[in-house]
A and B are shown apart, each in its own frame.
Chain A
Amino acid sequence: MPMAADDIIALIKQGIPGAEVEMQDLAGDGDHWAATVVSPAFAGKSKIQQHQMVYGALGGRMGGVLHALKLTTMAQKP
């Protein structure tokens, strides 16, 4: 079973304080997602660290039930 967008958003928000999450269904199949995550918690962190924080919030689901999530992370909106 693919993951619902709301579940993904909830996990990210739970794991990263103050995160704003926008989801986009890339393929229209509810299984290939793009997420833009904006959180002040990313400030001063490298892209790798920022993405690792999101993967951490997803608690091992990334690469498992959630196989396609294109990530864009930033500390504040441009």
Chain B
Amino acid sequence: MSDVFDRIRDEIGKNDVLLFMKGTPVFPQCGFSAAVVDVLSQLGVKFHGINILTDGELRQGIKEFSQWPTIPQLYVKGEFIGGCDIIREMFETGELEQVMKEKGVTLAHAA
């Protein structure tokens, strides 16, 4: 399992905003993943999506790495922010935008 943890750390290190998801940002294959993609798009956050459906090792590994049993999982600047429910709730209260700003993530609001 340590190999996959290394891979996860590497990806988290390389990507400021990283979403472990089912499907791809353009074609999410689960409603929960789609909801987080939608929130990030509304905020105008550039992010990298990793499709865990095509990688069985990663699919199991990320759950153990984050100690979180479900997908999607959002990481910002190396920190686990939450899954779908938390992200949606944080978006609605404005907390997510605040976290992004605090962490120095650029927000390009759509006009």
Identify the A interface with B (CB < 8 A).
47-48, 51-52, 55, 60, 62-64, 68, 70-72
Identify the B interface with A (CB < 8 A).
32, 63, 67-70, 80-86, 89-90
Assess the A72–B85 pair: CB atoms within 8 A: yes
CA distance A72 to B84 in the complex (A): 11
Q: How many interface contacts (CB-CB < 8 Å) are there between A and B? A: 31
Assess the A48–B69 pair: CB atoms within 8 A: no
Query: For the complex, would chain A's binding face be called helix, strand, loop or mixed by DSSP majority?
Result: mixed
- Given A47-B82, A48-B82, A51-B82; A60-B89 close (CB under 8 Å): no
A47: which B residues are within 8 A, CB to CB? 82, 86, 89-90
Assess the B63–A51 pair: CB atoms within 8 A: no
Tell me the smallest distance from the CB of A32 to a CB of chain B, in Å.
9
CA distance A47 to B91 in the complex (A): 13
Assess the A48–B70 pair: CB atoms within 8 A: no
B32: which A residues are within 8 A, CB to CB? 68
Tell me the smallest distance from the CB of B76 to a CB of chain A, in Å.
13
B86: which A residues are within 8 A, CB to CB? 47-48, 51
